[in-house]
Amino acid sequence: MIVLGLSALYHDSACAVFRDGRLVAAAQEERFTRRRFDPAMPVRAVRACLRDAGLGIGDVDHVAYYEDPVGKLSRQLWMGLPAVPDASRRTLFRLDARRPARQIEELLGYPGPVTFVPHHESHAASAFHQSGFSDAALFTADAVGEWATTSYGTGGPNRFELFEQVDFPHSLGILYSAVTSFLGFAVNSDEYKVMGLAPYGTPRYADRLRGLLTDLPRGQFRLDQDCFDLSGRSPMYTAALGELLGAEPREPESALSAAHSDLAASVQLVLEDILLAKLRFLHAETGLGRLCYAGGVALNCVANRVIRERGPFAEVFVQPAAGDAGAAIGAAALVSARLGAGVRPERLTDVRLGPAPDLGPVAAWLAAAGVPFEAHTDDEAGLVGRAAEELAGGAVLGWFQGRMEFGPRALGARSILADPRRGDMRDHINALVKKREAFRPFAPAVVAERAGEFFGLAGDSPFMLFTADVREPAALPAVTHVDGSARVQTVDRAVDPRFHALLTAFGRRTGFPVLLNTSFNMRGEPIVATPADALACFVRSRLDVLVLGDLVVRAADLPAHWAGLVDQQLPYQLPTLDRDVYSFL
């Protein structure tokens, strides 16, 4: 039984392939089109994932789509009328409940059965069916699906039920995103910047923001709509939000003030407090000790730590691609189960689910261009030893290995790596390689068996979804945030033996089996997908070394004129989506 899950036509489109109840491949469309957050039907991702699984579109038995287009249209019309006749053509084309089915047939070439799974069911199933739990409470929080913004449920061997939901426009995701917009960042993209900015401030606006929320029984709440504009004809906030805060909105890319940091700290605290309150309701209602959590809000790793350490559940599983991309997994899992294929009750431990590109031609490319390189074929110890030596010597290294990660995090397959002990390394990478805001922290990867020596983790963290205190911040300054925390990735030898070996080799040289790990991309671009992407990013950035499979290339050996040629000839300057004004239509 082959089930293809799809998330598309809103943002961050993706696909997932299930074979006989097991997740075998998943990828986001943006990685192939090089258009960040690409919302288009994931034609390229589907083609790549099916090819990687040895399948074609004719082998697919069923397609599972991540939301109900009719339910979504009812909310879109409620939001858009009576202004629809004056709306732009860009908005009007979205008001078409038949569009997903039509594009599945016309663009993917699939004429077979399609099941439309409600959005929050897709999110909840993406967590439950990959958690390995026999039973669990289910929690989903995002901006909005069809109507639901927060959902509560239970899952077990023979049940999957969402029994309560908070409806649009009352939404924790909208509250956080509106403040993101007020702070001059892009909605549905830069919320993590607000999370990163929060430790620099004090939550002096928290009481004012709490005043926007009315707590109600049975997990319900209401959001004061006077401060929000969700029409898409203006930013997400109204003038009333500025009046409430006694502050002016920040212009994008302008300097950040103490007030901006304080506002970020405030919305982060309010989010954490209300999440704890709603999870206490869910725990009391279900009596279950384990939690499965998904939805865009679940990508807030600071709040996730609070949930794990102070919440009512003994065990917490957060879906690593918790946003809409991961809903493709949940839709396919539910349909697989309902069609009798079942879903394998095993824990997701590895999100390297994308295609594994052919690295065979790379050596020939480099040789033809006259670029020196080292080949470590059948020499694992030599490869990781060489990379560890470069890192210990201060090099910033691009690391491209095997199948691509699914979700927003680079976890050792498409990573930029560096020495976390160097006090200047974070500023160096931020300014010269990533070209991003200086306040944003970098994450550490650490061998799982020694994580407790360096970080105060409450459990494992293979997907960078939880923060933890750094035990010796002065020893690891490049990965320690201003509050002494870090977003940790624990690396298991059995899951990723090569990355684990690199960390171990670095540890033998330095005493710290820990590396700074950030995504292999430049600002505004998706994570690299192919060897050509990696080479192009390597050429354009100021990385020192590239490890591409078994090959090692030094930047000093590249022809000086290549950077200009890449900028002229490769399609890396495609426009990103217009996010100055964000529409829930």
- Domain CATH number, residue 376: 3.90.870.20
pTM of the complete model? 0.94
The answer to the question of residue 513 being in a domain is yes
**CA 419/CA 391 separation, integer angstroms:** 6
Same domain, 385 and 518: yes
DSSP state of 269: H
Same domain, 274 and 378: no
Same domain, 307 and 386: no
Same domain, 245 and 390: no
What residues have CB less than 8 Å from 448, skipping those under 6 apart? 460, 462, 490, 491, 492, 493
Same domain, 433 and 303: no
Cis peptide leading into residue 361 (ω within 30°): no
CATH number (domain holding residue 214): 3.30.420.40
Same domain, 123 and 192: no
Rg (CA), the chain: 23
**CA 339/CA 328 separation, integer angstroms:** 17
What is the full per-residue pLDDT of the chain (585 aa) written as tens digits?
A: 999 999 999 989 999 999 999 999 999 999 999 999 999 999 999 999 999 999 999 999 999 999 999 999 999 888 876 555 555 555 666 788 999 999 999 999 999 999 999 999 999 999 999 999 999 999 999 999 999 999 999 999 889 999 999 999 999 999 999 999 999 999 888 999 999 999 999 999 999 999 999 999 999 999 999 999 887 766 889 999 999 999 999 999 899 999 999 999 999 999 999 999 999 999 999 999 999 999 999 999 999 999 999 999 999 999 999 999 999 999 999 999 999 887 877 899 999 999 999 998 999 999 999 999 999 999 999 999 999 999 999 999 999 999 999 999 999 999 999 999 999 998 889 877 777 777 888 999 999 999 999 999 988 999 999 999 999 999 999 999 999 999 999 999 999 999 999 999 999 999 999 999 999 999 889 999 999 999 999 998 889 999 999 999 999 999 877 766 766 555 544 444 433 334 555
Please say if 11 is a catalytic residue.
yes
The answer to the question of residue 347 being in a domain is no
Same domain, 122 and 172: no
**CA 323/CA 12 separation, integer angstroms:** 8
Number of structural domains found in the chain? 3
The answer to the question of residue 350 being in a domain is no
Residue 320 amino acid letter: P
Residue 18 amino acid letter: F
The structure tokens listed for 204 are 């002096």
Same domain, 120 and 188: no
**CA 45/CA 51 separation, integer angstroms:** 10
Same domain, 287 and 389: no
Q: Let me know: does 479 contact 518? Beta carbons within 8 Å.
A: no
Same domain, 297 and 424: no
Write the DSSP assignment of 231-258 as a string of letters: SSSS-SB-HHHHHHHT-PPPPTTSPP-H
pLDDT at 459: 87
Domain that holds residue 326: 2-130+322-338
The answer to the question of residue 137 being in a domain is no
The answer to the question of residue 155 being in a domain is no
Same domain, 183 and 303: yes
**Residue 70: other Cβ atoms inside 10 A:** 11
Kindly name the residue from 11, 129, 170, 481 that is annotated as catalytic. 11
Cα–Cα distance list, 359 to 354, 355, 530 (Å)? 15, 12, 9
The answer to the question of residue 32 being in a domain is yes
Same domain, 197 and 65: no
The answer to the question of residue 354 being in a domain is no
The answer to the question of residue 582 being in a domain is no
